[in-house]
Chain A
Amino acid sequence: MSARLFALAVGFVALLTLPYWMQGIYYINVASQILFYAIFALALNVLVGYAGLVSLGHAGLFGVTAYATGYMLQLGFNHPVSLLVALLVSLVSMAIFAVLSLRSTGIGFIMITLALGEILWGLAYRWISLTGGDNGLSLKTRPEPFGYSLSDVNAFYYATLITFLISLAAMAVFVRSPLGAALMGTRDQPRRMNALGYHVWAIRFWACMFSGLLTSVSAVLFVYYTQFISPQTLALTSSAEVLLMVISGGAGTLLGPIVGATLVVAVKTVVSGYIERWNFLLGAIFVAIVILMPEGLVPGTVRLWRLMWRKRESGAIKGGVGAKP
Chain B
Amino acid sequence: MTALTVSALTKSFGGLHVTRNVNLNVEPGERRLIIGPNGAGKTTLFNLITGELTPDSGSIKLFDHDITKVPSRRRAHLGMARTYQIITLFGRDTILHNVTLALLGLSPARWNPLIDLKRQGHFVEHAQTALEKVGLGHLANRPLAQTSYGERRRVEIAMALTQNPKVLLLDEPFAGLSIDERRDVHQLLLEIPRDVTIVMIEHNMDVALEFAERITLLHFGEVIVEGSRAEVVADPRTREVYLGH
Q: List residues of A whose CB falls within 8 A of some B CB.
A: 173-174, 176-182, 184-185, 188-189, 191-200, 206, 210
- The reply to whether A181 and B72 contact each other, CB–CB distance below 8 Å, is no
B245: interface (CB < 8 Å): no
- The reply to whether B117 and A197 contact each other, CB–CB distance below 8 Å, is no
- The reply to whether A177 and B117 contact each other, CB–CB distance below 8 Å, is yes
Contact of A188 among B77, B91, B109, B114 (CB under 8 A): B91
Contact of A195 among B50, B100, B117, B120 (CB under 8 A): B50
- The reply to whether B110 and A182 contact each other, CB–CB distance below 8 Å, is yes
Chain A to chain B: the 4 pairs with minimum beta-carbon distance, closest first: A197-B76, A196-B105, A197-B105, A179-B113
* Residues of B contacting A184 in the complex (Cβ-Cβ under 8 angstroms): 92
Q: Complex formed: what's the CA distance from A301 to B234 in Å?
A: 65
Q: List residues of B whose CB falls within 8 A of some A CB.
A: 50, 52, 72-74, 76-77, 81-82, 84, 88-92, 97, 100-102, 104-107, 109-118, 120, 159, 163
- The reply to whether B72 and A194 contact each other, CB–CB distance below 8 Å, is yes
- The reply to whether A195 and B114 contact each other, CB–CB distance below 8 Å, is no
Given contacts A177-B114, A177-B115, A178-B109, 15 further A-B pairs with CB under 8 A are A173-B113, A173-B114, A176-B118, A177-B112, A179-B110, A180-B113, A181-B100, A184-B92, A185-B101, A189-B89, A193-B101, A194-B52, A196-B73, A196-B105, A197-B105
Taking each of A193, A195, A198, which has the highest tally of chain B beta carbons within 10 Å of its own beta carbon? A195
Min CB distance, A187 to chain B, in Å? 9
8 contacts between A and B (CB under 8 A): A176-B118, A177-B112, A181-B97, A182-B110, A196-B159, A197-B106, A198-B110, A199-B73
* Residues of B contacting A199 in the complex (Cβ-Cβ under 8 angstroms): 73
* Residues of B contacting A198 in the complex (Cβ-Cβ under 8 angstroms): 73, 105, 110
Q: Complex formed: what's the CA distance from A302 to B34 in Å?
A: 49
CB closest residue in chain A, given B77: A197
- The reply to whether A181 and B105 contact each other, CB–CB distance below 8 Å, is no
Contact A189/B90 with A181-B101, A194-B73 known, Cβ cut-off 8 Å: yes
- The reply to whether B110 and A178 contact each other, CB–CB distance below 8 Å, is yes
- The reply to whether A178 and B117 contact each other, CB–CB distance below 8 Å, is yes
CB closest residue in chain A, given B100: A181
Q: Complex formed: what's the CA distance from A195 to B90 in Å?
A: 13
Q: Complex formed: what's the CA distance from A181 to B92 in Å?
A: 12
Contact A177/B113 with A193-B105, A196-B102 known, Cβ cut-off 8 Å: yes
Q: Complex formed: what's the CA distance from A176 to B81 in Å?
A: 26
* Residues of B contacting A180 in the complex (Cβ-Cβ under 8 angstroms): 113, 117
Min CB distance, B78 to chain A, in Å? 9
- The reply to whether B112 and A196 contact each other, CB–CB distance below 8 Å, is no
CB closest residue in chain B, given A198: B105
CB closest residue in chain B, given A176: B116
* Residues of B contacting A195 in the complex (Cβ-Cβ under 8 angstroms): 50, 52, 72-73, 76, 81-82
* Residues of B contacting A181 in the complex (Cβ-Cβ under 8 angstroms): 97, 100-101, 104, 117
Contact A182/B82 with A188-B90, A194-B72 known, Cβ cut-off 8 Å: no
* Residues of A contacting B120 in the complex (Cβ-Cβ under 8 angstroms): 178
- The reply to whether B110 and A192 contact each other, CB–CB distance below 8 Å, is no
* Residues of A contacting B159 in the complex (Cβ-Cβ under 8 angstroms): 196
* Residues of A contacting B84 in the complex (Cβ-Cβ under 8 angstroms): 192
* Residues of A contacting B89 in the complex (Cβ-Cβ under 8 angstroms): 189, 192
* Residues of B contacting A200 in the complex (Cβ-Cβ under 8 angstroms): 73
* Residues of A contacting B114 in the complex (Cβ-Cβ under 8 angstroms): 173, 177
Q: Complex formed: what's the CA distance from A173 to B117 in Å?
A: 10
CB closest residue in chain A, given B84: A192
* Residues of B contacting A179 in the complex (Cβ-Cβ under 8 angstroms): 110-113
- The reply to whether B90 and A178 contact each other, CB–CB distance below 8 Å, is no
* Residues of B contacting A196 in the complex (Cβ-Cβ under 8 angstroms): 73, 76, 101-102, 105-106, 159, 163
* Residues of B contacting A188 in the complex (Cβ-Cβ under 8 angstroms): 90-92
